[in-house]
């Protein structure tokens, strides 16, 4: 267990006393969100989040653990006992995990005419917890103080044209392919250049980013570490990695980049069309969870909001090539998702929702002549896109479920949900929401991963302070038990997950 941090508890105690103080009510007059000084405008910001979470029978630690986490890495389809195609190691089984974490941000944006400069410092760290964090995300428990955002933005007065350069958050659409993952301890910020153009009801954005270089890039606990095969040097990777080059004409040290274009066409309130194109080029030194590859994704999303009805329907197709065993393996995968909610006129703002998703998987083959059909969601929102438990990603997935939410008062809200979770290909890989391989079984014949039930409660008695509590129960199906047993983690019947967090923001 990590040692408790006295300074954190001292700060928390001081905050609690200040909130409870009778004089706090007299100081309720809000401060201005911006401070003009001459021709400059200063916009400070602050956020503090404290969270405690607990999980039983974690699915992605203990037993067989893998040396790489790339979604498109071969050697994970059938590398479970008694066969190992990639470096693996055995770890003890943990029946439960818990962690208490803190995340603080201090930011300042400065405007002068058409130019904005912004910087956000973030300190994210564990306060205390189990020796191994497991699915509570050791890669997201924090690395201390660091630079989260730092960018320069040049824009016209009406922002019809703008250009932003530096480290920045990027979310397109619902975030299924490109999101921030703010729920995690280390949300994603990209070192990128973006250009935005608007004309009437059309918004267009272009993106070029380096990935796997920033500690806040969301690319795993060893993001930026060299691994896998050199893009121009055969056989330099670790055992089980590809031993071929993507293109011998490409320098082996070009690293990884992401290029994208995103356009939104707002036709009328009930119909908006998002069109996205992404190209990810990966060469060494590659991040821990990337494989040398050329991956192209084309996505279309239809959405609308009219009289309490909100919907979104999305489909994506992925193609390209991946460095594999002695050859470049072709990629052809697809995915789809839909979500609809209806806020009724009933008391308590009663709202009903339904959702479903599908993403193609693979049969576990490592044959370099076979087309890889496992969908890679690139840089997705981890949670709550597929529930707060974070047990599955938009990859080799069948998902269907619904939820009901209500707000009895302006300060209290409740959401209750259910999801069926399955594998598109039973012999393919089960991947967590953070794109960590949970495992696969070459003998599994069941599509059923399990059933997830969750409840989330929100409390906001003071506008700057939001308190949230959530509980999730995952009942494992035959497919999940087969995979967990193949990974030497036993056959647990269920997993419990709960967290309690408080977030204080200003302004």
Each residue's pLDDT tens digit, 136-165: 544 445 568 899 999 999 999 888 999 999
Q: Residue 130 — very low, low, confident or very high, per pLDDT cuts 50/70/90? A: confident
CB–CB of 495/94 below 8 Å? Answer: no
- Buried b vs exposed e over 338-370: b needs ≥16 C-beta within 10 Å? bbbbebeeeeeeebebebbbbbbbbbbbbebee
Give the per-residue pLDDT at 222.
24
* Cβ partners under 8 Å of residue 29, min gap 6: none
Domain hosting residue 217, numbered range: 6-19+34-506
From 207-211, 255-259, 381-385, the region with the lowest mean pLDDT: 381-385
From 48-62, 137-151, 168-182, the region with the lowest mean pLDDT: 137-151
The upper half-sphere exposure of residue 10, i.e. CA atoms within 13 Å in the direction of its Cβ, equals: 3
Give the total number of structural domains in the chain.
1
Report the CATH number that the domain containing residue 149 is assigned in CATH. Answer: 2.40.160.100
The position carrying tokens 């949900």 is: 417
Among the listed residues 460, 456, 450, 465, the one whose alpha carbon sits nearest the alpha carbon of residue 495: 450
Tens digits of per-residue pLDDT, 76-103?
444 444 444 445 566 777 888 899 999 9
Give the per-residue pLDDT at 159.
87
Among the listed residues 79, 379, 409, 16, the one whose alpha carbon sits nearest the alpha carbon of residue 211: 379
Residue 475 lies in a domain: yes
* Cβ partners under 8 Å of residue 110, min gap 6: 40, 41, 42, 43, 116, 117, 118
From 38-52, 249-263, 345-359, 409-423, the region with the lowest mean pLDDT: 249-263
Sign of CA dihedral 81, 84, 86, 89: positive
Q: How far is CA 206 from CA 123, 192, 194, 279, 317, in A?
A: 30, 10, 6, 12, 19
Among the listed residues 265, 316, 493, 472, the one whose alpha carbon sits nearest the alpha carbon of residue 383: 472
Residue 255 lies in a domain: yes
Residue 41 has pLDDT above 70, yes or no: yes
Q: Residue 486 — very low, low, confident or very high, per pLDDT cuts 50/70/90? A: confident
Q: Which two tokens stand for residue 274?
A: 């998002």
In terms of residues, how long is the chain? 507
Dist. CA 11–CA 101, nearest whole Å = 14
User: What residues form DSSP beta bridges with 150?
Assistant: 119, 167
Residue 26 lies in a domain: no
Residue 398 has pLDDT above 80, yes or no: yes
Residue 126 lies in a domain: yes
Q: Give the residue, 282 or 73, on which the prediction is more confident.
A: 282
Give the per-residue pLDDT at 142.
56
Tens digits of per-residue pLDDT, 453-467?
999 999 999 999 999
Beta-strand ranges (E) seen in 3-71 are 35-37, 40-56, 63-66
Residue 174 has pLDDT above 60, yes or no: yes
Residue 28 lies in a domain: no
Residue 53 lies in a domain: yes
Average pLDDT over residues 226-244: 32
Give the per-residue pLDDT at 252.
56
Residue 1 lies in a domain: no
Task: Give the 3-state secondary structure of residue 486.
Answer: helix
**Given the DSSP bridges, would you call strands 271-282 and 256-268 parallel, antiparallel or unpaired?**
antiparallel
Average pLDDT over residues 57-70: 77
Residue 27 lies in a domain: no
Average pLDDT over residues 367-377: 91
Among the listed residues 21, 44, 55, the one whose alpha carbon sits nearest the alpha carbon of residue 121: 44
């Amino acid at each position: 267990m990590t040692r408790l941090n006295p300074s954190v508890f001292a700060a928390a105690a001081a905050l609690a006393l200040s909130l409870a103080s009778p004089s706090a009510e007299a100081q309720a007059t809000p401060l201005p969100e911006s401070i003009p000084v001459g021709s400059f405008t200063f916009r400070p910001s602050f956020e503090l989040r404290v969270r405690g979470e607990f999980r039983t029978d974690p699915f992605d630690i203990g037993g067989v653990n893998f040396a790489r986490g790339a979604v498109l890495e071969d050697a994970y389809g059938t590398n479970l006992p008694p066969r190992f195609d990639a470096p693996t190691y055995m770890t003890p089984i943990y029946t439960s995990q818990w962690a208490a974490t803190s995340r603080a941000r201090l930011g300042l944006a400065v405007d002068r005419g058409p130019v904005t400069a912004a910087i956000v410092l973030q300190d994210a760290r564990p306060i205390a917890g189990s020796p191994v964090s497991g699915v509570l995300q050791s890669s997201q428990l924090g690395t201390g103080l660091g630079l989260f955002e730092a960018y320069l933005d040049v824009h016209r007065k009406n922002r019809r044209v703008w250009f932003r350069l530096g480290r920045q958050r990027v979310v397109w659409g619902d975030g299924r392919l490109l999101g921030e993952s703010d729920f995690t301890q280390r949300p994603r910020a990209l070192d990128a250049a973006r250009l935005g153009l608007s004309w009437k009801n059309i918004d267009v954005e272009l993106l070029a980013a380096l990935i796997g270089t920033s500690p806040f890039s969301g690319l795993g606990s060893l993001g930026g570490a060299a691994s896998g095969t050199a893009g121009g040097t055969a056989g330099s990777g670790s055992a089980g990695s590809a031993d071929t080059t993507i293109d011998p004409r490409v320098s082996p040290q070009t690293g990884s980049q992401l290029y994208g274009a995103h356009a939104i066409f707002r036709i009328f309130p009930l119909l908006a069309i998002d069109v996205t194109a992404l190209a990810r080029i990966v060469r060494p030194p590659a991040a821990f969870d990337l494989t040398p590859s050329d991956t192209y994704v084309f996505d279309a999303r239809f959405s609308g909001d009219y009289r309490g009805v909100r919907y979104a329907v999305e489909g994506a197709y992925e193609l390209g090539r991946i460095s594999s065993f002695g050859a470049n393996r072709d990629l052809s995968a697809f995915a789809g998702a839909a979500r609809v909610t209806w806020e009724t006129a009933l008391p308590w703002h009663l709202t009903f929702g339904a959702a479903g998703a599908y993403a193609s998987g693979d049969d576990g083959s490592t044959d370099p002549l076979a087309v890889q059909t496992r969908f890679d969601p690139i840089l997705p929102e981890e949670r709550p896109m597929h529930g707060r438990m974070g047990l599955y990603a938009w990859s080799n997935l069948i998902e269907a479920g619904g939820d009901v939410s209500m707000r009895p008062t302006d300060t209290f809200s409740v959401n209750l949900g259910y999801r069926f979770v399955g594998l598109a290909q039973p012999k393919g890989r089960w991947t967590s929401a953070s794109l960590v391989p949970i495992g696969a079984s070459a003998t599994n014949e069941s599509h059923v991963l399990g059933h997830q039930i969750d409840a989330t409660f929100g409390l906001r008695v003071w506008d700057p302070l939001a308190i949230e509590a959530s509980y999730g129960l995952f009942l494992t199906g035959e497919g999940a038990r087969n995979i967990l047993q193949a990974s030497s983690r036993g056959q647990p019947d269920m997993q419990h997950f709960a967290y309690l967090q408080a977030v204080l923001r200003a302004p």
